[in-house]
Amino acid sequence: MYFRYLKDTGMRAKINEIVAREEGIAMASKVLLNISRDEVERARLMSEYKYQLDIQSKLVHAERQGMKKGEKRGRKEGEQRIIDLWKSGKPLEEVIREYGGN
């Protein structure tokens, strides 16, 4: 009954009553909550890691595009322009746009 109605808000009082009376279920409930929190935290960390990888990938792509454009203007000039734009705090999306990123 505990697992069947665990997410049913209308049965919350009954679930709490069962947890209060049954020590084994109370312990299982604590373990279940900890597992759920761990999974949520793991998903959050993976999302944050993916975001960081995406930003790094966009930056590398912008640098490569800048180098391609820089070959026309001189390699060092193109590289320095990307570095200057990025260091000046210009949003990464603008740097990518300026150097032909997708």
Specify which of 15-24, 30-39, 43-52, 73-82 reaches the highest per-range mean pLDDT.
43-52
Give per-residue pLDDT as tens, 28-50: 888 888 888 888 888 888 999 99
CB 62 within 8 A of CB 91: no
59/39 Cα distance (integer angstroms): 30
Radius of gyration of the chain (CA): 26
Which two structure tokens, joined as six digits, stand for 96?
């990518």
pTM over 0.85: no
